[in-house]
Structure 1
Amino acid sequence: GRLIASLFIYLQIFMALVSYTISLHDNIAAAFPATFTNHHNGYFPAAKLTAAAVAIALPSLWIRDLSSISFLSSGGILMSAIIFGSVVYTAIFGVVIGNGRIPLLRLGNIPTVSGIYLFGFGGHIVFPNLYTSMKDPSKFTKVSIVSFATVTALYTALAITGATMFGPSVNPQITLSLPKHSLVTKIALWATVLTPMTKYALEFAPLAIQLERSLPLNMTDRTKLVARGLVGSAILLIILALALTVPFFGYVLSLTGSLVSVTIAVILPSAFYLKICWDGMSKFTRVANLGFVVFGCVLGVLGSLDSSKMLVKGLVRVHGG
């Protein structure tokens, strides 16, 4: 069970970083539109800028004491606030005519959309570190409730705003739908570019810690640091290559949510709880957790199949074959 959970956690980290890098690539291209319109093939200049941005973030993977870069976490929160504020400002004071219409419910899109929802709420891999690092762990439940409530409110506000402004034509990344020549849009684009750069080291931390623990005890700290840095650098280069090859943010995000997030956030917690506490459970608790496992499996399978199909179609369309 522990091995399965660890594999899914590391897969979640890897796929999330691929999604973030795709977002970086898309937004950095939009931030420099004139740079690419003067080339016969705009992909390569955008790819070079993306590679440069990743190279700037690369040294952070070599830092062993993450407390020295803990400010990056605050930076990520600040960037998210800037993006949200930019979208709201555009909705209120921008030139976008708010006449978009999106049907309230599309049953056929539930599998794909559920993966995106699950990814957005699937931050469970950081819960243990948050709990142990809290000054007063007894407040963890309260903090979790406030955090999830805040995130839900922000997600809902952005969804309604995007639907109202752009309707079905809204881009999977709303920053790419904002007016191209607006200063507020430029700010939002750069905030979106900087967001992944603040996440690489912090997201990679669980994998780096496990890597150090698996190294021989007789290795010096310096050798462990080099090994950790080299492995992290290699993984980040693979992530960059995948992001440039599979430039479909929405589909990759949906696949991550359906394949990995639902397993970490729904299936495994309920399954482990049933395994550990079966004898002491009430009948209702057993049925409820079994229901969560079945529901998670169904949603995960349907979402993974649907997003994989869309991803393959996108790859065929872009790369041919």
Structure 2
Amino acid sequence: MGVSRSVPSMSSHSILVDYEKPLLHEQELENSKEVTGARQEQDGASFLRTCFNGLNALIGVGLLSVPYALSTGGWLGLPLLFIIAMVCFYTGILLQRCMSTDPSIRSYPDIGELAFGHKGRLFVSVFMYIELYLVAIGFLILEGDNLDKLFPDTSISIGTLSIAGKQLFIILVALVILPTTWLRSLGVLAYVSATGVLASFIVALSVFWAGEVDGVGFRERGRLINLSGLPTAVGLYTFCYCGHAIFPTLRNSMKDKAKFSKVLVVCFVICNAIYGLTAVFGYLMYGEDLKSQVTLNLPVGKLSSKVAIYTTIFNPFSKYALTVAPVATAIEERFLALNKIYSTLSVRTLLLLSTVVIALVIPFFGQLMAFIGSLLSITVSVLLPCICYIKIFKKPQIPKVERVLIWVIVVLGCLIAITGTYSSVRQIVDKF
């Protein structure tokens, strides 16, 4: 769900700079790949730095929703978090294997093209861009919710028009973010990634502090299982691990690419521990009363609550521009391909405006994240790696047991995508 991909997390959803540009001419693409490859050979990232970037890619706003996900599915839904983590780790390994077949592969869409030609590149790109666009909307909703909790009953009047609460803060945040979207240099934007992992640790620690020190306690028992809520829980859990769009770029950035599988091990183990502990702490603290973002449950006025909320508010400011940059670039290149006169400022301003409008119309953070996780994240992080791997590697190259395992993952992924998408869309519709 993300972003430089030396960028702050998002769950993702963070976005690395090496996103592919589908509408450039073939020669321009080849030249771009050669330049990028040469640069990476000179400035290859160490194992530790790649681990840090990987954590940035995986730990993000999903951290706020895992307690809510646990409350919607019940305690027996918690193992699904770990199962999804293992599946996403495995599909990350599949992407690495696909990349090892051709050194010219620099991005996820490159893998799609290797497997299915131009249509494969287009399909992967579309799903990536839609996911990034919706994650950007989620950032605005997140900001509006948390600022409204910090400053309740805030309103402003312009003539006969009165704007208050979350809607007001979404608009104000958009105005602050707008200048950052005008920066075309993703290389410059990428350097804001250092705060991502630290911020996530601070939020997790603040939740625990509120329960242990600030008097909330861990007294809720919760319920064993809620079958009707499991599709939503699975969608939210999947959103936590949707960093696959940037895995190819992370691998290419390494000095020793053979160690990328170890990077995935480190990142998934740490992320799983943080997500799992935060989910359990939040559920024990608030039980069935959990809101879509655990920060909205934290006691008002306590230092731990303020630290958690202010940290949560800061992150989207550094991530929004990185998240929408690949989308904006694709739109700009489309105009360029059509020989149209366009303005970078107008394209990116209108793109921001469109996300603001949708955030105002659908201000439901939990349901939006569940939708992204169920439809887009499962497709990008689970289904496409499996399908591309089977297409690239022929039958004799894949052991029969592994082939069966991959098809089981694909079938279950399709079922989860269908049920989760239906559940999240229905909840969004019911909110109106």
- Whole-angstrom distance in 2 between the partners of 1:101 and 1:229: 52
* 1:119–1:254 contact (8 Å) kept in structure 2: yes
1:67 maps to which of 187, 211, 214: 187
- Whole-angstrom distance in 2 between the partners of 1:60 and 1:129: 23
1:44 maps to which of 156, 164, 181: 164
* 2:332–2:342 contact (8 Å) kept in structure 1: no
- State the partner residue of 1:252: 368
* 1:211–1:228 contact (8 Å) kept in structure 2: no
Q: Which moved more, 1:90-99 or 1:249-258?
A: 90-99
Q: Which moved more, 1:195-204 or 1:171-180?
A: 195-204
- State the partner residue of 2:49: none
TM-score in terms of structure 1 length: 0.88
Q: Which runs of 5+ in 1 are unaligned?
A: 316-321
* Corresponding residue pairs, total: 307
- State the partner residue of 1:289: 406
* AA of the residue aligned to 1:298: L
- State the partner residue of 1:318: none
Tell me by how many angstroms 1:215 deviates. 5.4
Alpha-carbon RMSD across the aligned residues, in angstroms, is 2.4
- State the partner residue of 1:240: 356
- Whole-angstrom distance in 2 between the partners of 1:165 and 1:218: 56
1:183 maps to which of 295, 303, 317: 303
- State the partner residue of 1:96: 216
Please state whether the residue corresponding to 1:179 is helix, strand or coil.
Answer: coil
- Whole-angstrom distance in 2 between the partners of 1:63 and 1:246: 28
Compared with structure 1, are the counterparts of its residues 117 and 30 closer, same or farther at alpha carbon in structure 2 (3 Å cutoff)? same
**Runs ≥4 in structure 1, deviation > 4 angstroms?**
211-215
* 2:154–2:165 contact (8 Å) kept in structure 1: yes
- State the partner residue of 1:143: 263
* 1:76–1:199 contact (8 Å) kept in structure 2: no
- State the partner residue of 1:304: 421
- State the partner residue of 2:249: 129
Q: Which runs of 5+ in 2 are unaligned?
A: 1-119, 156-160
Compared with structure 1, are the counterparts of its residues 91 and 154 closer, same or farther at alpha carbon in structure 2 (3 Å cutoff)? same
Compared with structure 1, are the counterparts of its residues 84 and 147 closer, same or farther at alpha carbon in structure 2 (3 Å cutoff)? same
Q: Deviations over 1:152-173 (max 9, x none)?
A: 1111111110111111111120
* 1:13–1:204 contact (8 Å) kept in structure 2: yes
Map 1:129-278 onto structure 2 (within 5 A). Answer: 129-211=249-331, 213-214=333-334, 216=336, 227-278=343-394
Q: Deviations over 1:193-239 (max 9, x none)?
A: 122111112212333444455454898xxxx9974443222122111
Compared with structure 1, are the counterparts of its residues 124 and 167 closer, same or farther at alpha carbon in structure 2 (3 Å cutoff)? same
* AA of the residue aligned to 1:33: P
* 2:220–2:283 contact (8 Å) kept in structure 1: yes
Compared with structure 1, are the counterparts of its residues 35 and 218 closer, same or farther at alpha carbon in structure 2 (3 Å cutoff)? closer
Question: Which is helix-richer, 1 or 2?
Answer: 1
TM-score in terms of structure 2 length: 0.66
- Whole-angstrom distance in 1 between the partners of 2:163 and 2:282: 27
Tell me by how many angstroms 1:278 deviates. 2.7
Compared with structure 1, are the counterparts of its residues 43 and 170 closer, same or farther at alpha carbon in structure 2 (3 Å cutoff)? farther
* Identity value in percent: 34
- Whole-angstrom distance in 2 between the partners of 1:70 and 1:277: 34
Please state whether the residue corresponding to 1:33 is helix, strand or coil.
Answer: coil
* AA of the residue aligned to 2:254: M
* 2:239–2:370 contact (8 Å) kept in structure 1: yes
Tell me by how many angstroms 1:79 deviates. 2.4
Question: Are 1:24 and 2:24 an aligned pair?
Answer: no
* AA of the residue aligned to 1:292: I
